[in-house]
Every structure is written in C-alpha cells, then in structure tokens.
Structure 1
Amino acid sequence: MAQQRWLMRINGRVQGVYYRASAKYKAADLGVTGYAKNLSDGRVEVVAEGEEAALNEMLEWCWQGPPNAEVTNIECEKAAATPYYDNFQIFNS
C-alpha cells in the first residue's frame, strides 16, 4: 500500500493537556511519522504519514487525545506522503 500524508487540525481543549506529547507516543506505537504543533488559534495541528490503517488509528486516537483533552472537531486533509519525515516530532508554535 502507498504511504499517505494526513493533515489534521484538532479543535477543542487541546492545548495545555499534553496533546502533542501524547500524539508523539501514539505515532511511535503506530509507526507513523510527522509532527504535532500548537496553532495560535488554540488548535493543534498534526501531520501524520504512514499506511492508511495506521493513519485511521491515529485519527481515532486524535478524537480522544490524552485524558484531559476535549476534542470538538477535526479537519482532515489527505494527500500523498512526502519523504521528508523519518520520525514524529513536536514543534513549538
């Protein structure tokens, strides 16, 4: 199967609840590469690259997030993967 790149913008109570760090651990478990970063409007942006099955699991996890998160919406854009990422990183906004 071809690798895919999913750009997810997560809305809700997602900053200050270890969302990015938790996303990094989940991505590592799934073998997904990319990054997570806070956006200035209060959302978290996650770029995830991998096989579709792993990305579906990552998206499911993003709806839950860590224990103190309250996700209200996720915008997801799908595209072909890039060779840019070799791990999952946390970026500061």
Structure 2
Amino acid sequence: MNKNVRLTAWVRGHVQGVGFRWFTRANALAIGDLIGFASNLADGRVQVVAEGPRTHCEQLLDWLRDGDTPGRVDGVTEIWGVPRGGYDGFEMR
C-alpha cells in the first residue's frame, strides 16, 4: 500500500540564488502526484514540503540528498507526517 504522506525537508548548503527551488519544483512535477512547495528560509536553507504517495516523496528526498542539484547540498533533515492538503500543485515560495 502506498498511502499519501507529508514530507518536510530542510536542505542545508549553498542552495539559495542557484535555481534550487525551480529545479526542486521541476523534479517534483516530473515525479508526479506531488503537491507542496519549496521556499527559501532566512537562515540560508531551503524548506521543501511535499505531499503524495510515500514512494514519490522518497524519490524527491533521494534527489535532494544525492541528485544532480544546483548549488551544493551539505545535508538534508526530514520529518514525515500525515498530509494536510491545501496546496494547489507544487510551487516556489
């Protein structure tokens, strides 16, 4: 069973001003069935919230950690939860 989940990930490194949010959104759309957002935080991290099938969220998380991302990812911290909804697609904030 591949029930829907909520992934919240915080990406550390050189991830602002390099197109990171745009590529995260493009990747989420390519994976499919994901809603949520990617947002720059004041401390230099990018927060990614994705809701959808767990395997799809895991694919996005794998890409955040090990994929061909712009900039430089030094680390990713994530938490898993239940979907809250309220997103219209996957957006950059």
TM-score normalised per structure 2: 0.90
Distance in 2 (alpha carbons) for counterparts of 1:38 and 1:65:
19
Distance in 2 (alpha carbons) for counterparts of 1:2 and 1:15:
32
Shift of 1:84: 1.2
What is the number of residues matched between the two proteins? 90
Residues 1-93 of structure 1: matches in 2 within 5 Å?
Answer: 1-31=2-32, 32-63=34-65, 64=67, 66=69, 68-91=70-93
Question: Where in structure 1 are there 5+ consecutive unaligned residues?
Answer: none
Root mean square deviation, CA, Å: 1.1
Greater Cα shift, 78-87 or 11-20? 78-87
Distance in 2 (alpha carbons) for counterparts of 1:40 and 1:8:
15
TM-score normalised per structure 1: 0.90
Taking every aligned residue pair, what percent have the same amino acid on both sides? 31
Structure 1 residues 9 and 65: alpha-carbon distance in aligned structure 2, compared to 1, 3 A threshold: farther
Shift of 1:37: 0.5
Q: Which runs of 4+ in 1 moved over 4 A?
A: none
Question: Where in structure 2 are there 5+ consecutive unaligned residues?
Answer: none
